[in-house]
Structure 1
Amino acid sequence: MSVWVDLQGQDSVVAQLRRAAQSSSPTHAWLLTGPPGSGRSNAALAFAAALVCERPELAARGCGVCKACHTTLAGTNADVTYIATEKTTITIDESRALVRKAHDSPSSSRWRVMIVGDADRMAERTTNVLLKAIEEPPPRTIWILCAPSPADVLVTIRSRCRTLTLRLPPVADVAALLVRRDGIEPELALTAARAAQSHIGIARRLATDPGARERRDATVNLPLKLRDISTAVQSAASLLELAQAEASSSNEERDAVEKVSLLRSLGAPETGTLPPPMRAQVRALEEDQKRRAKRSVTDQLDRALTDLLSFYRDVLVLQLDARAGTSAEHAALELVNDPLRAQLQDFAARSRPETTLVRMDAINSVRRRLTTTNVAPLLALEAMAVSLL
Structure 2
Amino acid sequence: MTVWDALVGQRHVVETLRVCLGGRGMTHTWLFTGPPGSGRSNAAIAFAAAIECEQDGCGECQACHTVLVGSHPDVTVIRTERLTLGVDEVRELVRRSALAPVASRHQVLIIEDADRLTEQAGNALLKAIEEPTEHTIWILCAPTVEDLLPTIRSRCRQVVLTTPTDREVAEHLITAEGVAEELAWSAARASQGHIGRARALALHQDVRNRRRSVVGYPTSLTGLQACLSAAADLAESTAEEATTVTGEVDAREKADLATSYGVVERGRRPREYAPALAALEKAQKTRAKRRHLDVIDRGLMDLVSVYRDAIKLGTGADGELINEDIRPQIVALAELSSPEAQLRRIDAIFTAREQMLEFNVPPLLALESMMLALRVPRRSA
Name the TM-score, length of structure 2 as normaliser: 0.92
Question: What letter is aligned with 1:310?
Answer: S
CA distance in 2, matches of 1:190, 1:270: 54
The CA deviation string for residues 283-304 of structure 1, in whole angstroms up to 9 with x for no partner, is: 5444332221111001111111
Q: Which stretch shows the higher mean deviation, 341-350 or 291-300?
A: 341-350
Aligned partner (choices 365, 372, 377) of residue 358 of structure 2: 372
Distance 1:23 1:31 in 2: 18
Cα distance in 2 for partners of 1:24, 1:336 equals 41
Match of 1:11 in 2: 11
User: Which 4+ stretches in 1 moved above 6 angstroms?
Assistant: none
Q: Given that residues 35 and 162 in structure 2 are in contact (C-alpha distance below 8 angstroms), is that contact kept between their aligned partners in structure 1?
A: yes
Cα RMSD, aligned residues only: 2.1
| Alpha-carbon distance change, 175 to 384 in structure 1, aligned in 2, over 3 angstroms | same
| Identical residues among aligned pairs (%) | 48
2:24 and 2:325 map into 1 onto residues whose CA distance is 52
In the other structure, the counterpart of 1:209 is: 204
**CA–CA separation in structure 2 for the residues paired with 1:254 and 1:207:** 25
Tell me which residue corresponds to 1:127. Answer: 122
Deviation at 1:266, TM superposition (A): 5.7
1:164 is matched with which residue: 132, 135, 159?
A: 159
Contact residue 21 and residue 47 of structure 1 kept, 8 A: no
Instruction: Using the TM superposition, give the Cα deviation of residue 44 of structure 1 relative to its aligned residue in structure 2, in angstroms.
Output: 0.2
1:5 partner SS: helix
User: Quick one: distance in 2 between partners of 1:372 and 1:88?
Assistant: 11
For 1:263 and 1:143, locate their aligned partners in 2 and report how far apart those are by CA, in whole Å: 34
Give the CA deviation at 1:186.
Answer: 3.3
Letter in 1 for 2:328: A
- Give, in whole Å, the separation in 2 of the partners of 1:319 and 1:242: 31
Which of the residues 270, 286, 297 maps onto 1:291? 286
The equivalent residue for 1:44 is 44
Compared with structure 1, are the counterparts of its residues 130 and 304 closer, same or farther at alpha carbon in structure 2 (3 Å cutoff)?
same
* CA contact 2:218–2:333 (8 Å) conserved in 1: no
Conservation of the 8 A alpha-carbon contact between 1:84 and 1:116: yes
Q: Which residue does the alignment assign to 1:29?
A: 29
- 1:193 CA drift (Å): 2.2
> Shift of the alpha carbon at 1:261?
4.8
The code of the aligned residue for 2:367 comes to L
Residue matched to 1:351: 337
1:191-217 C-alpha deviation (Å, 9 max, x unpaired): 222211121111222223322221111
Give the unaligned 5+ runs of structure 1: 323-331
* Other-structure match for 2:370: 384
| Partner AA of 1:192 in structure 2 | A
Among 327, 330, 340, the alignment partner of 1:341 is 327
Q: Quick one: distance in 1 between partners of 2:260 and 2:268?
A: 17
**Separation of aligned partners in 1, 2:202 and 2:245:** 15
SS of the aligned residue for 1:236 comes to helix
Q: 1:95 is aligned with what amino acid?
A: V
Residue 229 of structure 2 aligns to which amino acid in structure 1? Answer: Q
Helix, strand or coil at the partner of 1:4: helix
> Aligned-pair distance for 1:34?
0.6
Change (3 A) 1:189 1:289: farther
Deviations 1:262-287 (A, max 9, x none): 55566653896555555655554443
Structure 2 CA distance, aligned partners of 1:263 and 1:112?
Answer: 32
The one-letter code matched in structure 2 to 1:161 is: C
Match of 2:79 in 1: 84
Aligned counterpart for 2:91 among listed residues 92, 96, 100:
96
Bigger mean CA offset, 356-365 vs 270-279: 270-279
State how far apart, in whole Å, the 2-side matches of 1:264 and 1:305 are.
40
Structure 1 residues 124 and 264: CA distance shift in structure 2, 3 A? closer
State the distance in 2 between where 1:180 and 1:266 align. 48
User: CA–CA distance in 2 between the matches of 1:241 and 1:216?
Assistant: 14
Say whether the 8 Å CA contact 2:90–2:124 is kept in structure 1.
Answer: yes
Deviates more, 1:296-305 or 1:252-261: 252-261
Q: What TM-score do the two structures reach when normalised by structure 1?
A: 0.90
The answer to whether the 8 Å contact 1:212/1:246 transfers is no
Query: What is the aligned length?
Result: 375
| Matched residue type, 1:339 | D
1:105 shift after superposition: 1.5
Greater Cα shift, 362-371 or 17-26: 17-26
Establish whether residue 250 from structure 1 lines up as the match of residue 245 from structure 2. yes
Provide the residue aligned with 1:113 in structure 2: 108
Of stretches 286-295 and 69-78 in structure 1, the one that deviates more from structure 2 is 286-295
8 Å Cα contact 2:219/2:332 also seen in 1: no
Kindly provide the amino acid, as one letter, of the partner of residue 388 in structure 1: L
Q: Tell me the equivalent position of 2:169.
A: 174
Find the counterpart in structure 2 of residue 325 from structure 1. none
**Structure 2 SS opposite 1:160:** coil
